């Protein structure tokens, strides 16, 4: 009865939201980017030392450190807290923002993230009515991500755009997009498993090698070869020593805090990677459908977050986007709707003081990795479905429903 009531209320909300023209949702997201950027700057004015947009300053100041031949991978406490952990190439790209004062630079930064994301959403094979619901489904998590002034929204967008490019046989562009994500966050490598879904996988491998080499040497435009070599060694040293005792907001963090399990990280990640690859192996031998390829995209978006020992609350815009793609690209079932609602409540609603009291979030949600729980359950379902659900019947149902929606 409860599940039926929840599903009925959910369907009513979705029907109401679907009537909102998609352009208004686009405007909402763009205004959100501007408003959050300005608020982050304004609310930092009374802070004695650092700012609320510290992550962006780490990115922005990396350009100055790069061109002045400084080590990118040491702490600059006079400028920001925490370390820069990204590639020298990413530091060079930040030159596009480094020349601007903080306020316009931060606004442009968040707008770039949102625009890339919205363009990616438009490329998904979803009727506009359902896209409106999808965007509203992600709105709170988007707000959390933008408040952190990180680049997770951009990463999610590039993963989706790379999938779209592979669907349209634009292999060179798909590989470029994914190699760019690797030079921002290493877990972009996981998204390259997309290539296994398409006949052009060997061409994709060659393009990947090409773009990897091109982007690796790109900083030579502004620094010497010796300095670039030094920076790559320094970056490798930082990453090698960054495997801390923390489990982050991840499956490991969830199991550790809930069940007091001390989990060997490397073994756990290797096991998770093997499970992740099972559907791809099946696809290599039995072929794929559009719905299955969408589900594998969703699996990638979720996996890179829930198995990241450095996972933080703002990275869950990537995982929740995966959940949204899985749910909104196929006909809703009772179990899928229940999982989608629970994921929304415990991933997004639990992390914002607009809905959940701050002390609850700080005392329970973050320490107990609550955000990882239902994203993980959805991911397990995605991985198991190719072995137990007929993809042909699912695709037929999808096409029938979407044709009615259009």
Residue burial 236-250, b: 16+ Cβ < 10 Å; e: rest:
eebeeeeeeeebbbb
Q: Which of 23, 63, 42 is nearest to 106 (CA)?
A: 42
CA distance linking residue 141 with residue 298, whole number of Å: 16
User: Which DSSP symbol is given to 366?
Assistant: T
Q: Is 3 part of a structural domain of the chain?
A: no
Number of domains in the chain: 1
- At 74-84, the pLDDT tens digits run 998 888 888 99
In a domain, 107, yes or no: yes
Q: Is residue 5 part of a domain?
A: no
Classify residue 374: in a domain, yes or no: yes
Q: Closest Cα partner for 53 from 165, 147, 167?
A: 147
On whether residue 8 sits in a domain, the answer given is no
Kindly write down the DSSP assignment for every residue of 88-141, as one continuous string. HHHHHHTHHHHTS-HHHHHHHHHHHHHHHHHHHHHHSS--HHHHHHHHHHHHHH
pLDDT at 223: 96
In this prediction, residue 44 carries a pLDDT of: 84
> In terms of residue numbers, what domain contains 172?
22-405
Burial of 71 (0-12, 13-18, 19+ CB in 10 A): middle
Which letter, b or e, does each residue of 312-340 get, where b requires 16 or more Cβ atoms within 10 Å of its Cβ? bbbbbbbbbbbbbbbbbbbebeeebbbbb
Closest residue by Cα to residue 141 from 133, 157, 153 = 153
Output the pLDDT for position 365: 73
Q: Helix, strand, or coil here: 200?
A: coil
Rounded to whole angstroms, the Cα distance separating 140 from 351 reads 9
| Whole-angstrom distance, CA of residue 259 vs CA of residue 254 | 8
State the Cα torsion 352-310-273-265 to the nearest 10°: -130
Q: Is residue 16 part of a domain?
A: no
Give the whole-angstrom CA distance, residue 154 versus residue 144: 14
Q: What is the pLDDT of residue 400?
A: 55
> What pLDDT, on a 0 to 100 scale, did the predictor assign at position 1?
54
Q: How far apart are the first and last CA of the chain?
A: 31
**Residue 404, pLDDT score:** 46
Confidence (pLDDT) at 267: 86
The rounded distance, in Å, linking the Cα atoms of 196 and 192 is 8
pLDDT at 366: 75
pTM (two decimals): 0.93
- Residue 186 within a domain: yes
Q: Is residue 49 part of a domain?
A: yes
pLDDT of residue 357: 67
Low-confidence ranges of the chain (pLDDT < 50): 402-406
Other Cβ atoms within 10 Å of 267 Cβ, number: 9
Residue 341: which residues within 8 A CB-CB, separation 6 or more? 6, 10
Largest Cα–Cα distance in the chain?
68
């Amino acid at each position: 009865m409860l599940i039926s009531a929840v599903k009925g209320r959910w369907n009513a909300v979705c029907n109401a939201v679907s009537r909102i023209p998609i352009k208004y949702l686009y405007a909402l997201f763009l205004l959100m980017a501007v408003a959050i950027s300005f608020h982050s700057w304004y609310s930092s004015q009374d802070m004695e030392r650092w700012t609320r947009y510290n992550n962006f300053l780490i990115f922005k100041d990396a350009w100055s450190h790069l061109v002045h031949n400084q080590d990118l991978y040491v702490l600059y406490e006079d400028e920001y807290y925490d370390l820069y952990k990204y590639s020298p190439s990413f530091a060079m790209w930040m030159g596009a923002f480094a020349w601007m004062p903080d306020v316009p630079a931060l606004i442009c930064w968040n707008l770039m993230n949102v625009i890339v994301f919205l363009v990616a959403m438009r490329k998904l094979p979803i009727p506009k009515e359902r896209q409106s619901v999808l965007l509203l489904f992600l709105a709170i998590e988007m707000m959390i991500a933008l408040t952190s002034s990180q680049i997770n929204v951009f990463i999610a967008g590039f993963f989706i755009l790379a999938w779209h490019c592979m669907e349209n046989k634009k292999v060179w562009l798909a590989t470029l997009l994914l190699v760019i994500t690797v030079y921002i966050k290493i877990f972009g490598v996981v998204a390259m498993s997309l290539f296994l879904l398409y006949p052009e996988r060997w061409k994709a491998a060659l393009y990947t090698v090409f773009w990897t080499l091109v982007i690796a040497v790109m900083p030579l435009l502004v620094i010497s070869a010796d300095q670039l070599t030094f920076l790559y060694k320094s970056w490798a040293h930082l990453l090698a020593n960054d495997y801390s005792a923390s489990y982050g907001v991840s499956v490991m963090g969830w199991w550790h805090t809930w069940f007091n399990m001390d989990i060997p990280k490397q073994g756990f990640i290797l096991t998770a990677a093997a499970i992740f690859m099972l559907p791809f192996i099946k696809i290599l031998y039995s072929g794929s459908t559009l719905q299955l390829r969408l589900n594998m995209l969703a699996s990638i978006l979720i996996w890179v977050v829930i198995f990241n020992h450095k996972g933080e609350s703002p990275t869950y815009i990537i995982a929740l986007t995966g959940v949204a793609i899985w749910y909104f690209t196929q006909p809703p079932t009772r179990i899928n709707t229940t999982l989608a609602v629970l994921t929304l409540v415990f991933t997004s609603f639990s992390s914002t003081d607009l809905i959940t009291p701050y002390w609850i979030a700080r005392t329970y949600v973050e320490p107990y990795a609550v955000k990882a729980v239902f994203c993980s359950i959805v991911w397990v379902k995605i991985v198991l479905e190719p072995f137990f659900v007929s993809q042909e019947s699912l695709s037929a149902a999808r096409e029938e429903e979407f044709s009615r929606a259009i």
